[in-house]
Structure 1
Amino acid sequence: MLVNAFNRYVNNFRGFSREIWILTLITFINRAGTMVLPFLSKYLKEDLHFSYEQVGWVMVCFGFGSMIGSWLGGKLSDKIGFYKIMIFSLFTSGLLFFVIQFIKTFEGLCLAMFSIMIIADMFRPAMFVSLGVYAKPENRTRALTLVRLAVNLGFAAGPAMGGLIIMSIGYKGLFWVDGTSCIVSILIFALLVKEKKKETVHLDAIGDTKRKSVFQDKPFWIFLFISFTTAMVFFQLFTTLPLYHHEQFALTEFQTGLLMSFNGLMIFFLEMPIVSYFERKKTDKVKIVMYGALFMAISYYLLLIDFWVGILIVSILFVTFGEMFAFPFSNSFAMSRAPKGHEGRYMALYTMSFSLAHIMSSKTGMGIIAQFGYTVNWFFMATLAVFAVGCAVWLQRILLKENI
């Protein structure tokens, strides 16, 4: 029975092209080295002694840079190709991570984070477009999930190692590791994967007259709002929660890293089987995203129990299931909604919704905590996730009418 279960698990990983596996490998290397993000708010607060307000503004600059980078990456992927954008983005941002550790002033870090994120986040829409090119149509959601697994396995290893690096040589070590991982991963990609052109198809030729422009696609904009709100709630995991761990329960950086690693390991073992199950059942993608938002709401309502440290594990459990339900299928919905020739624009807007969420999540969360404390912030974020559930129900009804 155990052998059969193992074989079923392994079967979920069959059928991918060589390019998809290389993309997965470089994503893992890159994300295992991405140790700055989970500890950025702690670095700014505890090492550079910035106020909550200043931490919030640096995160806002981080998010605005990410938004512009996402839009540029999507636009340029449609114009000059995803391959060149991916190589430029990761190689250049790797070099910039080496430099950013030497900037200590509030104004300097605002400008530096804004600049580096413009370049770094050009990579994301380009990578999504590359998956559409290198993956078979029937494997597309699983290919997205495979790359997400690499991201989360990287995050499982990264924060725990990051906590140890901070405790041994300080925060500067994170910047060196992050920059090196960017450069190494993109060099592997450039050496092993050849550029493959996207198919260019005229919109009239595919008979899709309803969705000629992303700006006229009303259901997609409702979907973007749902993606934005669920991401805004989820990103508390990287912005306010690490501070809460320390201030409420006196956890060390290593203990916070272990909690993040628990999130990553759960996703590694469970997300692909969950995605495969829903794909076999042909379950509506928006419905699964709705369940994801619901799990996230429960996760943050649980944090209102602030006298037992074990609640942090239970909360991480729920937010992880929320993430596994919401993000792979929202990703897949965005790609399937895009008409041929407009994939870059659609994926740019999708990734921009996450960038905007990063801005709003950190700024709103830090602002609420500074004024009213952590409890009010957890209640606000959980209620926002409930609102996303309502919007998903609304979107389902619109899509149902559209398909009649």
Structure 2
Amino acid sequence: MKTLFNNYLNTFKGLSREVWWLSLITLINRAGTMVIPFLSLYLTKNLNFTLSDVGWIMSAFGLGSVFGSWLGGKLTDKIGYYKVMIYSLLFTGILFIVLQFITTFNSFCLGIFLVMLVADMFRPAMFVALSAYSKPENKTRSVTLIRLAINLGFSAGPAIGGIIITTLSYGGLFWVDGITCIVATLVLINVLNPKTTKTLDDVKTENPKSAYQDKAFLIFLMAMVLFGIVFLQYFSTMPLYYKDVHHLTELEIGIILGMNGFIIFALEMPLIKWLENTTYTKSGLILFGALLTGLSFIILNTTSWTGILITGMLLMTFGEMIAFPFSNAFAMDRAKKGNQGEYMALYSIAFSIAHIFGHNAGMRMVNYFGFDNTWYVITLLAALCIFLLFILSQYLNRKKKLKTQS
């Protein structure tokens, strides 16, 4: 047992001090965004908005995320990742505190749009910082550590949020969210100041290539939008399937969803460490992750046995653990060819687009066609994603062969 534990700890070795600090800041920031899981409840119960109103507000939320990611990428290339992260965290904190005082529909749409615009400027800047603070051979594991921080933050956030609502009220959520963002800003200023940090991979590209002209990257982005739509069903339509079709209780649903986070926390880093030492390409591993995720849906239509839900969750979890770190590392590698902020912004936007359309489309399909037909459609989207990733792999192989021949 001790050997196993030591081997697990060894998978974290070699990551820079700056990456660890960036992970802590991300953990503080993500644990602090506890308003988000309770937003629909707050809007309907406290502000008495209709479900239709909430739908429009969530659309404003998604649009803010898209424009914020784009703007964050542009600013990162112009003024640098450090300043963008500082301003994003600080003003997100201020806007979260202000948001609790907005009570009309139109103003709340504008308010949540601005909050997400400023908050998601952080993402492309953080990815560029992560690339700079990581040795080339450690980039995928650095991404994995950030993912662990995000998962821990999202796990802790709702639990803490529930306690705050019970003891303080919904208003307390906005104050705590705002204060944690400001605390993350102060930590960032103290530990990641450019004067004291060590850059391990500072890429300076003359005549940088636009991401919009990178054919391979554009194919990759289309695949990631599809993968995001497929993956997000596990957090919107799937819980309804558990309850309405398999008649699981909230506790049982929570245990199955919690299994996902536990497996990621326990196994993702060792799995990534092992896969990094194999000969598989990043595009090939992303394809395999998408395949496992697609299989997790189609198997649901093969039997009415409730145990198949566990199998589906396991397939999705391993698919997620493989696809996300290597897709992120692939994007960072491509970004070296051009404007890093622009590349990482488009990578973030791919998942923002998936958020805008994925939840809504899944819910509508379930409503009109039922769960079984919805899973067939989702599997078809996963197959299209796999096809695009296959084209990407073939394209990259051809480019590699031409390069070696010349």
Where on the TM-score scale, by shorter chain, does this alignment land: which range? 0.7 to 0.9
Match of 2:120 in 1: 121
- Cα pair 2:209 2:337 within 8 Å, conserved: no
**1:28 lines up with 2:34 in the alignment:** no
1:391 is the counterpart of 2:394:
no
Task: Report what 1:183 is aligned to.
Answer: 182
Counterpart of 2:354?
A: 357
User: Structure 2 matches for 1:5-404, cutoff 5 A?
Assistant: 5-41=4-40, 53-163=52-162, 165=164, 171-195=170-194, 199=202, 201-203=204-206, 212-241=209-238, 249=247, 251-252=249-250, 259-302=256-299, 312-340=309-337, 342-404=339-401
Residue 404 of structure 2 corresponds to which residue in structure 1?
none
Stretch of structure 1 that moved more, 55-64 or 120-129 = 55-64
Q: Name which of structure 1's ranges 79-88 and 335-344 shifts more when overlaid on structure 2.
A: 335-344
Determine the C-alpha separation between the residues in 1 that align with 2:263 and 2:310: 12
Distance change (3 Å), C-alpha of 1:165 and 1:256: farther
Indicate if the aligned counterparts of 1:53 and 1:366 stay in contact, CA closer than 8 A: no
* Counterpart residue type for residue 293 of structure 2: M
| Residues 70, 124 of structure 1: 8 Å contact kept | yes
Aligned mates of 1:164, 1:300 — CA distance in 2: 34
CA RMSD of aligned residues (A): 3.0
Q: How many residues align?
A: 396
Aligned AA for 1:295? L
Contact 1:298 1:382 in 2 (8 A): yes
Distance in 2, matches of 1:337 and 1:101, equals 40
Q: Return the alpha-carbon distance in structure 2 between the equivalents of residues 40 and 312 of structure 1.
A: 28
Q: Higher mean Cα deviation, 300-309 or 316-325? A: 300-309
Q: Verify the 8 A CA contact 2:124 2:341 in the aligned structure 1.
A: yes
**Greater shift in the superposed pair: 229-238 or 385-394:** 229-238
- Contact 1:59/1:363, CA 8 A, preserved across alignment: no
Report the 3-state secondary structure (helix = DSSP H, G, I; strand = E; otherwise coil) of the residue aligned with 1:363: helix
Query: Which stretch has the larger CA shift, 290-299 or 258-267?
Result: 258-267
Percent identity at matched positions? 49
Q: CA deviation at 1:55?
A: 4.0
- CA distance in 1 between counterparts of 2:46 and 2:236 reads 15
Asked whether the equivalents of residues 209 and 338 of structure 2 are also in contact (C-alpha less than 8 Å), the reply is: no
How far apart in 2 are the matches of 1:175 and 1:323? 31
Contact 2:205–2:336 (8 Å) recurs in 1: no
Contact 1:153 1:265 in 2 (8 A): no
By how many angstroms is 1:258 displaced? 5.2
Per the normalisation by structure 1, the TM-score is 0.87
- Label 1:310 to 1:108 Cα distance change in 2 as closer, same or farther (>3 A): farther
Distance in 1 (alpha carbons) for counterparts of 2:186 and 2:359: 33
Relative to structure 1, the CA distance from residue 313 to residue 87 in structure 2 (aligned partners, 3 Å threshold; closer, same or farther) is: farther
Q: For structure 1, which segment, 173-182 or 387-396, has the greater mean C-alpha deviation from structure 2 after superposition? A: 173-182
Distance 1:144 1:192, change over 3 A: same
| Aligned partner letter, 1:337 | R
Displacement of 1:32 after TM fit?
2.3
Q: Is the 8 A contact 1:41 1:243 kept in 2?
A: no
CA distance in 2, matches of 1:320, 1:30: 24
SS state at 1:282 partner: coil
Match of 1:208 in 2: none
CA distance in 2, matches of 1:243, 1:214: 38
Q: For the Cα contact (< 8 Å) 1:44–1:55, is it kept in 2?
A: yes
Deviation (angstroms), 1:326: 0.8
- Distance in 1 (CA, whole Å) between partners of 2:244 and 2:173 is 22
Deviation at 1:68, TM superposition (A): 0.7
Letter in 1 for 2:36: L
Which residue type is aligned with residue 390 of structure 1? Answer: F
Per-residue CA deviations over 1:66-98 (Å, capped at 9, x if unaligned) read: 111111111111110111110111121122222
Deviations along 1:334-370, whole A, 9 cap, x unmatched?
1111235511111111111111111111232233344
Q: Distance in 2 between matches of 1:174 and 1:383?
A: 40
Partners of 2:345 and 2:4 in 1: CA distance: 38
Which digits, 9 at most, give the CA deviation of each residue in 1:99-152, with x for residues without a partner? 334445543433222211110000000000101111122211111111111111
Give me the whole-angstrom Cα distance separating, in 2, the residues matched to 1:268 and 1:392: 27
- Against the structure 1 CA distance between its residues 28 and 312, is the aligned structure 2 distance closer, same or farther, given a 3 Å change threshold? farther
C-alpha separation in 1, matches of 2:101 and 2:243: 26
Q: Secondary structure at the match of 1:10?
A: helix
Gaps in structure 1 of 5+ consecutive residues: 205-210
Kept in 1, the 8 Å contact 2:11–2:270? The answer is yes
Amino acid in the other structure paired with 1:263: N
| Contact 1:71–1:122, Cα closer than 8 Å, also in 2 | yes
Structure 2: where are the runs of 5+ without partners? 402-406
Higher mean C-alpha deviation, range 92-101 or range 392-401: 92-101
Greater alpha carbon shift after TM alignment, 29-38 vs 121-130: 29-38
Q: After superposition, what is the alpha-carbon deviation per residue over 1:250-276, rounded to whole angstroms, capped at 9, x for unaligned?
A: 744x77655544322221111111111
Deviates more, 1:84-93 or 1:303-312: 303-312
Rounded to whole Å, the distance in 2 between the matches of 1:360 and 1:136 is 36
Q: Report the AA paired with residue 188 of structure 1.
A: V
